[in-house]
A and B are shown apart, each in its own frame.
Chain A
């Protein structure tokens, strides 16, 4: 199962330290921190939750389990706000 950003959601990065997601339909915007941005960029590239968790654990020196939990938490949050969909 893959998770993909919704077409009408635009991400704008700020110096690699975070960014803003804008839902073009509702005009609501959401702030992503540095790790949230990493997860979003991974989803944009079509990476799986597991792939992103591995990347995160490498960059931030956290355990793969911890990283996967973080990714899943954010993905659930994004899904609840209809910013991503599962296929």
Chain B
């Protein structure tokens, strides 16, 4: 999930009428001819069956579909004429905590669209960290572009879609207040996991959001330190501080349209409960598909690998630094979320 801003001044803007972008989707936010721009791709007839948006794009790119880059206003104009689905629910998470299982359960519902960690959405949300002070025109512009992007991605690309779910990158959790202002009535679910286990997982395979050099400004805002301090942080502390801030952000913005789901509670029953919370009553066949999803490793596109819990293995593999960092920066806000779950 890239948190950097693509700079590609050599790309030229197409002068294209918004109505001709029907069934095309925004796939990237870029800079072209020194102005904010949107890259679009012809995605008619496509379903987002892979666990992540970029995996679907990689499949579709083999078909040599059309691509075009327009100025940002084309997206705002397109939103006005686009009859895309409204989101049925947003999936937020603290990373490596089972959110992909939830997305796959949503995908198991017939005629559903699941957009999972689309870079174009992530990039627009990331701009709030560095370039969208509260109350500024830029903040409002990014909110409108984000809303328009989600609307455009909710087009009925196959024609019969009727449920629409959006899974965001973990760092988006820190912008939950802005997301809520854009979608005041849409249900949000937040997945989270024991911070020690999460840190161990992230250290084994460092995600892009933990690579401060990619976008130091955003990284500093995510971790909650000055840019100058970033280089002095160990990976454990970097991750633990971020997790603590994710949990705290959810705790501070918790409302009745939000559900919390700890990784430890993930089960067939809890997946069905989440679907119910999103307004879906699964049919028998759909419930069977959800049951299958709950037993498989979520990030395996082949649907062959069986899921095996690894909490105890991760905890025993954790270093002393990991335990100390988790305790200092994340445990308190993690416990607060658990307390909320118990009181609900």
Contact = CB atoms under 8 A, between A and B. Distances in A.
A29 B80 CA distance: 17
Given A18-B140, A20-B141, A29-B137, A12 B76 contact: yes
B295 to A, nearest CB: 41
User: A-side binding surface: helix, strand, loop or mixed?
Assistant: strand
A20 B77 contact: no
Interface of B: 35, 71-73, 76-77, 79-80, 136-137, 140-141, 143-144, 147-148, 181-182, 184
Contacts of A19: 140, 144
A35 B66 CA distance: 42
A29 B141 contact: yes
Nearest to A29: B141
Interface string A1-21: 000000000101011001110
A24 interface: yes
Given A24-B73, A27-B71, A14 B143 contact: yes
B310 to A, nearest CB: 43
Interface string A35-49: 000000000000000
B137 A12 contact: no
Contact of B76 (A15, A22, A30, A31): A22
Contacts, number: 39
A14 B144 contact: yes
A27 B70 CA distance: 12
A20 B184 contact: no
B149 to A, nearest CB: 13
Contact of B137 (A10, A15, A31): A31
Nearest to B181: A15
Contacts of B144: 12, 14, 19-20
Contact of B73 (A10, A14, A15): A10
In the A-B complex, the 8 residue pairs with the closest CB atoms: A31-B137, A22-B73, A12-B76, A12-B144, A20-B141, A31-B140, A27-B35, A20-B144
A81 to B, nearest CB: 14
Contact of B140 (A10, A14, A24): A14
Contacts of B76: 10, 12, 20, 22
B137 A20 contact: yes
A27 B143 contact: no
Nearest to A13: B144
B141 to A, nearest CB: 5
B140 A20 contact: yes
A23 B289 CA distance: 49
A45 B141 CA distance: 24
B38 to A, nearest CB: 13
A19 B139 CA distance: 11
A1 B317 CA distance: 77
Contacts of B136: 31
Given A10-B76, A12-B144, A14-B143, A30 B71 contact: no
A16 B74 CA distance: 21
Contacts of B77: 10
Given A12-B80, A29-B137, 20 more contacts: A10-B76, A10-B77, A12-B76, A12-B148, A14-B140, A14-B143, A14-B147, A15-B182, A19-B140, A19-B144, A20-B141, A20-B144, A22-B72, A22-B73, A27-B71, A27-B73, A29-B141, A31-B136, A31-B140, A31-B141
Contacts of A15: 181-182, 184
